[in-house]
Amino acid sequence: MEYSERLQNVTVIGAAGKMGSGILLLTAIEMADLSLKPENKNRQFILNAMDVSDEALSGLMKYLRAQVLKAAEKKAVQLRSVYADRTDLIDNEEIIREYVNDVVAIVRPTTLIESAYNSTLIFEAIKEDPALKVKIFSQINQNSTKSPWFYTNTSSIPISKIDKEANLGGRILGVHFYNPPAIQKLVEIIKGENTLQELVDFANLYSKNLRKIVVPSHDFAGFIGNGHFMRDAIHGIREAEALQSKYSFAESIYIMNKISQDYLIRPMGIFQLIDYVGIDVCQYIMSVMNPYLPNEDLHSDLLDKILASGVRGGQNSDGSQKDGFLKYEKGKVVAAYDINTKSYAPIAEFQSKCDDSLGKVPASILPWKAVVGNPKKDDLFKAYFTELNQTVSFGAELAKKYALRSREIGLNLVKDKVAFTENDVNTVLLTGFFHAYGPINNYLD
């Protein structure tokens, strides 16, 4: 079955969710572009947008139309050649409107799993629940006559486990998009023990057509992205816990968030990142990974306590950040949670105290925004980390310890055969997490 034929009937499960909506958008555009090619004029393309809520699916269709309109406006010149034989379409506005209609017409919103029985390709983007994934895949596989391929967006569950329990015969591949899929360039591709090679070849071509950067990962729980992130988070959490012998809970969270953002020159601090992903999501991913890690423990009692307090993080429906370890106003951090008082302490009340305790900051330090796109950033980082290494202060010591632990995590991912190469680790952190430099480096040598 060639590329276009495989994409004639596709289902996205969890289509109205944060990840599923992005995957649906990208796939709808790719399928529409294929349908408009002369050689495919007699083929029908169907994309089932499957979710559990009619209301959510209604919102999804509004989102889809708005995003396709933006995409069409960016490629209006290209679309003129696509619709060159349509004499009824005169100006760009008409062409753009027609393209939006063509893309949206492919999508069939549905709450019925039976819609997937005729699909040859299934994208799945539901929550990280192994039993639920296996249940859905098994039902589709048992009722389909198409021997469909299953592409799961799991960020932590071993592919071979799902394959075996759902009895898919190697017709499953991990295709892990990063959030949000429509913007993020990275896709991790994870081949299970018995995954058929044609699934990998197709996924690579599909990702290339979407202009994504593909990084392969071995089939080990957490893969590269969460393999690094969860351990990095545990380090930040444990350092914050250790600080509580001298600082309040809120002060400890502020200090480690500042160290991991400002001192390590990252786009956000570790507790901001945990909030962004969702405290409950991080806790669950750690629980999925932990059984596969006999020599380490990713469980965090602190995450359990925070969740028990009703604090979860994550995003609101409009994309704004929910309060978690930190409190946000108009996208800015304004307070830190105090688990003892179960309230947020304004950062303005203790910032000076904490900053004074951290001590001298290297003069060469720069904010992430000033460095990330700089073509000479490698030289800037060499100079900065050399100065950091020579700086004697509490903050510098915390930062050096954090950076060295981050590098150790990255190197272990290669040593433990999770990542194929050191460059793959760095690519995931640079592309998927927007770091300005990879964790595996020689800056502190």
Asked whether residue 209 falls in the same domain as residue 287, the answer is no
Domain-located, residue 155: yes
Whether residue 240 is found in the same domain as residue 101? no
Q: Are residues 122 and 264 both part of a single domain?
A: no
Among 174, 198, 217, residue at a domain's last position: 217
CA distance 433 to 419: 16
* 254 and 213 within one domain: no
Residue 444 lies in a domain: no
Instruction: Evaluate whether residue 80 is within a structural domain.
Output: yes
| pLDDT recorded at residue 317 | 75
CATH of the domain at 86: 3.40.50.720
Strands, sheet with 332-338, edge to edge from the N-terminal-most edge strand: 326-329, 332-338, 343-346
Same domain flag for 206 and 230: no
For residue 440, being part of any structural domain is answered with no
How many structural domains comprise the chain?
2
pLDDT of residue 342: 94
Of the three residues 217, 237, 259, the one that is the final residue of a domain is 217
Instruction: State whether 280 and 394 are in the same domain.
Output: yes
Q: Tell me: do 43 and 85 sit in the same domain.
A: yes
Residue at 312 is within a domain:
yes
What CATH number corresponds to the domain at position 349?
1.10.1040.10
Q: Please identify every stretch of the chain with a pLDDT value under 50, giving residue numbers as ranges.
A: none
Among the candidates 217, 238, 267, a domain finishes at 217
CA gap 30, 24 in Å, rounded? 10
Instruction: Note whether residue 443 is domain-resident.
Output: no
Please tell me the distance from the alpha carbon of residue 389 to that of residue 341, in angstroms, as a whole number.
37
- Domain membership flag for residue 441: no
pLDDT computed for residue 87 by the predictor: 85
Instruction: Assess whether 211 and 229 both reside in one domain.
Output: no
Residues spanned by the domain of 119:
3-217
**Same domain, yes or no, for 245 and 389?**
yes
Residue-level pLDDT at 115: 96
Is 347 within a domain?
A: yes
Note whether 190 and 229 are same-domain residues.
Answer: no
What pLDDT is stored for residue 314 in this prediction?
A: 93
Are residues 239 and 202 part of one domain?
A: no
78 in the same domain as 9: yes
Q: What is the residue whose two structure tokens read 């050191």?
A: 422
Q: What is the pLDDT of residue 443?
A: 97
